[in-house]
Amino acid sequence: MTISALNSFRISVGTDVAAREIAVKQRGGSAPGLFWLGGFRSDMVGSKAMALDALGAEHGLAVTRFDYSGHGVSGGDFNHGTISRWLEEAEAVFALTKGSQIIVGSSMGGWLALLLARKLLSRGERPHALVLIAPAPDMTHTLMLPSFTPDEHESLQNNGYVDQPSAYSATPYRITRSLIEDGAQHLLFGSVIETGCPVTILQGGKDPDVPPAHAIKLVTHILHDPVTLTLIPDGDHRLSRDEDLARLRDAVLRLVGA
């Protein structure tokens, strides 16, 4: 099989002071294509994203990856990032795809995948399927805010941000008040979540950041579409071990043929 070339390019999203350059990597191939949405502070060259690209290359499937603004090699300031801003970028990059797409979202990318699916449905379109890895819908209000100490709540109000240590970075993760406030516009829990397609969820049983109960709560909100939840008892948040990547690969291939 001839492996299609990988194209790297940039697109501009937003206007005036909100304009930012978004880095994209796109591999040609057949449908359904694979569309990657990374997590908070992750990028398009992480192990899961690269495993997805390798899977596409092996099977002749189109693959699209990109970095949100303030992430990876894209432009923009991370501290200006909000769910609205990153969703706008996801929509702009998705518009570059051809044919049906399997949207694969990790952590925050799972929230964005659900929001993107809702946008598509509002236009009479639908994804081929969703694969959600430790999905974190509503994370600003169900995962971040409840974890803040009184001092962090005070910092959020007075300074406009909270710096929290992270197991994934030597530098703290900054969570801004604008991210929290904007997240309120995109909350999904509390009403039926429509995707218009099959949904597969991969969730680690030992995830310290997005607990299994969060994935189960998500399942109870998806009432009109088929959902498969795979709980990996010893899995962490990243789900990037060889066996985890094999599960991701198998999940995507099952949906390709569905």
**Catalytic residue selected from 71, 128, 186, 237:** 237
Retrieve residue 158's tokens: 């007075």
> What is the residue type of 118?
R
DSSP E strands, the chain: 6-13, 20-27, 30-37, 61-66, 101-106, 129-133, 161-166, 169-176, 199-204, 227-232
Number of Cβ within a 10 Å radius of residue 213:
9
User: Cβ distance 33 to 100 under 8 Å?
Assistant: yes
71 noted as active-site residue: no
**Tally of CA atoms within 13 A in the half-sphere of 34 that contains its CB:** 34
> What is the residue type of 82?
T
Retrieve residue 211's tokens: 């607990």
Number of Cβ within a 10 Å radius of residue 42:
21
User: Cβ distance 65 to 39 under 8 Å?
Assistant: no
Retrieve residue 231's tokens: 């709980």
107 noted as active-site residue: yes
**Catalytic residue selected from 42, 69, 106, 107:** 107
**Catalytic residue selected from 67, 207, 209, 244:** 207
Gap between the Cα atoms of 201 and 106, Å rounded:
10
What distance, in Å, lies between the first and last C-alpha atoms of the chain? Answer: 22
User: Cβ distance 242 to 50 under 8 Å?
Assistant: no
Which residues are known catalytic residues?
Answer: 107, 207, 237
